[in-house]
A and B are shown apart, each in its own frame.
Chain A
Amino acid sequence: MANKSVLFKIKRQATPTSEPFWEEFELTWRPGLNVISLFMDIALNPVTRNGTPTTPINYDSNCLEEVCGSCAMLINGRARMACSALVDNLEQPLTIEPFSKFPVVRDLVVDRSVLFENLKAIKAWVPVDGTYSLGDGPRITPQVQEQSYQLSQCMSCCCCMEACPQFNESTGFVGAATIAQARLFNMHPTGKVLKDERLDALMGDGGIQECGYAQNCVEVCPKEIPLTKSISSVAGDVMKKAVLDFFRT
């Protein structure tokens, strides 16, 4: 369907503590536009729909091909990546907002460092002895590789956390991404040496028990990572460990 123009509004904010405000834009349509290219067009001519001069939009982006996880935002109310949000597939006028559950830095830029803190808490790494030569790594079957590859595609975009009803200040829930990463490292022949510590980190407040199985996470994940399967699997491990711990003490 040939549209002459693209209409959209962006929720902007000048500083972390200032009031948000909306700006409306109207741009000439071209084939193949995504939301990022709308922002690029504004930078070339930063003027709102009614002709008021404004400033280019501030937003996180890098790869523009949905592998880096930078450009996550709310587009028409849904948590998704801006680079793969093709204008022709979206209902106009587009509504573009920053993620609502993360502190706004400016415009569409939010602070997602909580996820990186969570990854430290669950020791999301394989504890190799050192970088000196120790020969080949362990053999891994193609079937196992296909599973771990899937989980390993997580680009820390935080869409799952934005969409999750349990991810908020009062629960302190870690979110699906962190749990799926715990599963990934617990699967690895060397990584699993830290399995107990990862499971401990997911017990108690803010841990895996906060999950309410809303399943929003798996619906919005741009990489279609099996998040709810991972949460079930890890929840089972956490439960087993809690029971064994109880009988050990």
Chain B
Amino acid sequence: MATTTPKIIIVGGGLAGLSATIKVAEAGGEVALFSLVPVKRSHSVCAQGGINSAKNLKGEGDSTWAHFDDTVYGGDFLANQGPVKRMCEMGPGIIELLDRMGVPFSRTPEGLLDFRRFGGTLFHRTAFAGATTGQQLLYALDEQVRRYESEGKVKKYEYWEFLSSVLDSQGVCRGICAMDLRSMEVVTFPADAVLIATGGVGAIFGKSTNSVVCTGSAQGALYQQGAAYGNGEMIQVHPTCIPGEDKLRLMSESARGEGGRVWVPKNPAETRAGKDVPEGDRWYFLEDKYPKYGNLVPRDIATREIHAVVHDLGLGIGGSPMVYLDLSHIDRATLDRKLGGILDIYEKFVGDDPHEVPMKIFPGMHYTMGGLWVDEDQMTNIPGLYAIGECDYSIHGANRLGANSLLSCIYAGFVAGPNAMKYAKNLAAPPENLAASFANEKNRQMQYNDLLVKNQGTENPFKLWRELGEIMSRNVTVRRFNDKLQETDAKLVELLERYRKVNLSDRSMWTNQSFLFTRQLYNMLQLARVITQGAFLRNESRGSHYKPDFPERDDANFLKTTKAFFAPDADEPRFEWEPVDVSLIQPRPRRYDTK
């Protein structure tokens, strides 16, 4: 029979992981929470613009159904609709709870939550805390978890890396194998259920808006252990990012939500500074083409338009791949109150004052809609293993609407936490040889570490990573061509081969960050093939997945989820497809210029 106190392991301490932690602790479970970094430093902290919910506090007649329709439409009908509807219905309750927990949401004169408009909708349904909403939501959940920690209900393992799950002889997940990043010790941890909340995969694309820890390594490891990966090819490129030497810094959609305007000089040879170009010489191309949604068309559409204006029409600023995002027409006080955090980022890292001059931006890899495949209870195809948040595929279809990510993370955590508890209480006794499963997995990981640290070779892992990022960003983002995708997969095979000759210049077994990164790199390469081959096989255009050779959406052949499984003998993915549940809202053409 199941033990009296369910033991739940949660990997990842962002919004999804902390949401699940709170639900499990509140329900009397014991949580072991693993994170690469102190949980309040998780990547959720970077989210800027806001969190959606149809509270309808702007007198617009908004509803959870309208939110559901906007989300399904924005996702180009690729998501199974049941979970999406439930998420939208839970939205108002989630906002109310976060408010009660002390998130300093921006307020109206009547003291109520303020809401702004975000991409892909005509309703003001995005609650926000200045321009650092993700940070504030994360901090509130971090504080609640700290309370449970002080009560002994949650044990945190910060600066630990997830290596793999421990599967018993029947393929049921019975715990994890993890590594202490200080001592590099490899340890197994038993649990009744494991929740994976390990976020996005930005590092696979080299530079992205993601944080350093967003490698997708945990997902890659689980995929190699038999977890199915859904719609890996659905990668969101955010239209407005600030290019940088070390990362692409996000310039939130809320800038456009508060009235920011995207434009280029009409004259490709324009030499005047942005602020000196008069109105008549500016082309506000998004407003021109999309009179109803204007600058707030969904991200995939905005990205493609910017890409086309720069690459096809040659109208990038001064010939460079950049366009203007202009806030300078808005008064300073409003900008500071509603967008202060992101304007600070622009000023600090670029040196120009966006109150005075238009910002220069360009699209950058930002989010993965694809992720570990899960059922309606957030369980993967591996019994006892759940996936929640950006690392799960279930909500956003072929394109995510802005401000839906924060909601989907908390939703998934709130659903999976109680589900994991129920599962744990009904869990059958493990097979007799369970101890051997743990010992074998620990040995396997220790042997791998040993091989890696001793490997004599010539390849610098950071150089391999740079090559990975460059080719993925070039060929597997905004525009996809089948010959280029095949070239990319061939390059990935080459990088995997060269990985065998990787040389660690640091062979210390104490706090060795380059060892950790090199380990993650292998899983990144394997997952990159899932993304690339999935894109190759989907011969249509849908949401963020755009193939100029197949420019239309093809529901007859592709209204289905791409499901990738690792084929160990071939050492590459094999694919299955699953029809999408569109029973609640029938697919219709996705047009934001008319709607």
Contact = CB atoms under 8 A, between A and B. Distances in A.
A130 B25 CA distance: 11
A137 B341 CA distance: 25
B147 A152 contact: no
Interface in B494-528: 505-506, 508, 510-514
B343 to A, nearest CB: 13
Nearest to A36: B246
A125 B106 contact: no
B26 interface: yes
B510 A14 contact: yes
Contacts of A37: 245-246
Contact of A84 (B93, B129, B341, B349): B349
A142 B129 CA distance: 11
Given A142-B107, A145-B105, A56 B247 contact: no
A123 interface: yes
Contact of A127 (B22, B105, B147, B211): B147
Interface in B174-219: 182, 211-213
Interface in B414-451: 414
Contact of B102 (A44, A126, A146): A126
A105 B513 CA distance: 12
Interface string A198-242: 000000000000000000000000000000000000000000000
Contacts of B585: none
Contacts of B344: 66
Contacts of A59: 513
Contacts of A62: 37, 41-43, 45, 211-213
Interface in B40-79: 40-43, 45-46
Contact of A126 (B43, B100, B337): B100
A116 interface: yes
A125 B511 CA distance: 32
A17 B150 CA distance: 30
A55 interface: yes
Interface string A31-52: 0111011001001111000000
B265 interface: no
Given A63-B45, A65-B349, A139 B112 contact: yes
Nearest to B244: A32
B41 A185 contact: no
Nearest to B90: A133
B513 A136 contact: no
B37 A128 contact: no
Contact of B100 (A63, A67, A134, A145): A134
A136 B130 contact: no
Chain B interface residue number, banded:
35 or more
B155 interface: no
A44 B182 contact: no
A136 B113 CA distance: 10
Nearest to A141: B111
Interface string A54-76: 11101111111111111000000
A156 interface: yes
User: Which residue among A36, A65, A136, A152 has the maximum number of chain B CB atoms within 10 Å of its CB?
Assistant: A65
Contacts of B37: 60, 62, 68, 70
Contacts of A83: 246
A248 interface: no
A84 B347 CA distance: 10
Nearest to A185: B102
17 contacts: A34-B349, A37-B246, A45-B460, A55-B514, A62-B37, A63-B212, A66-B345, A70-B41, A86-B349, A119-B146, A120-B149, A123-B147, A131-B26, A139-B110, A139-B112, A152-B136, A155-B45
Interface of B: 22-23, 26, 37-38, 40-43, 45-46, 93, 96-97, 99-102, 104-112, 129-130, 132, 135-136, 139-140, 143-144, 146-147, 149-150, 182, 211-213, 244-247, 249-250, 337, 341, 344-345, 348-349, 351, 414, 460, 462-463, 466, 505-506, 508, 510-514
Given A56-B506, A156-B40, 16 more contacts: A33-B245, A64-B249, A65-B345, A67-B135, A68-B37, A68-B40, A70-B37, A116-B38, A123-B147, A126-B100, A128-B97, A137-B96, A145-B105, A153-B135, A153-B341, A185-B102
Interface of A: 14-15, 30, 32-34, 36-37, 40, 43-46, 53-56, 58-70, 83-84, 86, 105-107, 109, 116, 119-120, 123-128, 130-131, 133-137, 139-142, 145-146, 148-149, 152-153, 155-156, 185, 188, 190-191
